[in-house]
Structure 1
Amino acid sequence: MKVKICGIRDKQTANISVKAGADALGFVFAESKRQISISKAKEIIASLPKEVLKIGVFVNETKDNLVEIFEEVGLTHVQLHGDESPEFCNSLDLPVIKAISIKSQEDVKKIEKYDCEYILVDSPYGKYRGGNGTTFDWHLLLNQEFQNNRLILAGGLTIENVQEAGVLVNPYMVDVSSGVETEGVKDMNKIELFIRKVKLGGANNDNLYTSR
């Protein structure tokens, strides 16, 4: 599985995440405690390797603003966490990740309506659209056909549960934010251990973790 570390706000965290093996980094432009400015995101992204996905997170943003920020910052994808319709997503000449909150089987059925490069499945909304640190019932995703969409699993993933989630859901990528934080701040040791848990099965890696 691939790994996305979301809620990046500084160059040190970005670079350590990449060095640890992160395949994608997320930058939150929507209202959030992890919101980042366009100028800061641009500065961080300029320092990153080309192969790393740079994903901007938005909620009900206008098409013009999405295009402008995508080009200005140097994003590779836009992740849409709002009420964006399939038609709106299709109208964008950009690589789109559509986030869908999962509460029931009816929500799972919404996935087939979207023809996006990736579908991100997340927990029900809390204060913000995403990044709330809660899981959902992963069993709702079993035995589903997703029209070859690459599935990204988010919502309450941690060092302790990511392996279980990976076995049960078998997503293309897992997405973590609060699960690698200590007191609301990205924890470098947690990031390293989370990535190793995903990539290497967690063998002989417990010594990496020291709470900060």
Structure 2
Amino acid sequence: MVPTVKICGLQSVEVLKSIVHLPIAHIGFVFAPSKRQVTPERASELIAYLKSEAANGVPIPLTVGVFVNPSEEQLAQILAVAPLDVVQLHSQETPDFCRWVREHFQVKVFKSVSISKSENKVPTLADLSSQLDPYIGTIDAVLLDTFDPVYGGGSGTTFAWDRIPVYQEWARSAGVGLLVAGGLQPNNVDRLVTAYNPDGVDVSSGVETEGVKDIAKITAFVERVTRK
């Protein structure tokens, strides 16, 4: 199966118009502190454009909001303005909180797992079961990302990909998807897909030029994921 593509950190309607024809499964809006952070109003504008395209019969990606330790009140305020399809949680959110988000807002929930570049030991399935089994039934996918000491994820650097297989094994047994992020770009994503074939890949800075989304890089990234 060909992995799905998630383009994260969208801020511009013009960029969205230029990529909506591509086979992209998810578009991510960052609500956590970041240089790519958007307001609920800007996300609403982008979502409205996608809905207008859907009304014209164009297949559109699901919209994902990226959050770090949000409060219930913050989520309620943002989703009231920007009706997201997926809430992506990037910190220490508990299984109970994930369940509440999923049920209260009727959205999918992606839970990020940060992998430190300094971590030398590959975890065992028992290690992951101890850590992640409480999330079974509360999330729809696990997103592997490189740990960032400031933001948790979104570092733009890769982690050791030999960690992926054990997470894949856990995800399959738990009935959830496995997405991989962290330092992906057009020049390395084909190696990741060939070696590990995750359910999905997630990119942000790897398809930017000087901090701005680059249509040519996005197109190349999507083509290298989906050409299998």
AA aligned to 1:165 is L
Residues 166 and 112 (structure 1 numbering): CA distance in 2 closer, same or farther, change over 3 Å?
A: farther
Q: Which residue among 180, 200, 208 is the counterpart of 1:153?
A: 180
Q: Provide the identity percentage.
A: 39
Alignment-derived partner of residue 21 in structure 1: 23
Residues 1-212 of structure 1: pairs in structure 2 closer than 5 A: 1-48=3-50, 49-50=53-54, 51-92=60-101, 93=103, 94-103=107-116, 104=119, 105-106=122-123, 109=128, 110-115=131-136, 116-143=139-166, 144-146=169-171, 147-201=174-228
Please report how far the alpha carbon of residue 126 of structure 1 lies from its aligned counterpart in structure 2 after TM superposition.
4.0
User: Runs in 1 of length 4+ with deviation above 4 angstroms?
Assistant: none
Greater RCO structure (CA 8 Å; 6+ sep): 2
Structure number with the higher helix fraction is 2
AA aligned to 1:145 is W
Contact 1:5 1:17 in 2 (8 A): no
For the aligned residue pairs, the C-alpha RMSD in angstroms reads: 1.8
In structure 1, list runs of 5 or more residues that go unmatched: 202-212
Q: Distance in 1 between matches of 2:23 and 2:5?
A: 8
Q: Distance in 1 between matches of 2:213 and 2:91?
A: 25
Contact 1:138 1:168 in 2 (8 A): no
Contact 1:100 1:122 in 2 (8 A): yes
Q: TM-score, normalised by structure 1?
A: 0.88
Contact 2:123 2:163 in 1 (8 A): no
Q: Distance in 2 between matches of 1:160 and 1:132?
A: 17
Please report how far the alpha carbon of residue 148 of structure 1 lies from its aligned counterpart in structure 2 after TM superposition.
1.8
Please report how far the alpha carbon of residue 53 of structure 1 lies from its aligned counterpart in structure 2 after TM superposition.
0.7
Contact 1:119 1:152 in 2 (8 A): yes
Contact 2:148 2:154 in 1 (8 A): no
Please report how far the alpha carbon of residue 128 of structure 1 lies from its aligned counterpart in structure 2 after TM superposition.
2.2
Q: TM-score, normalised by structure 2?
A: 0.82
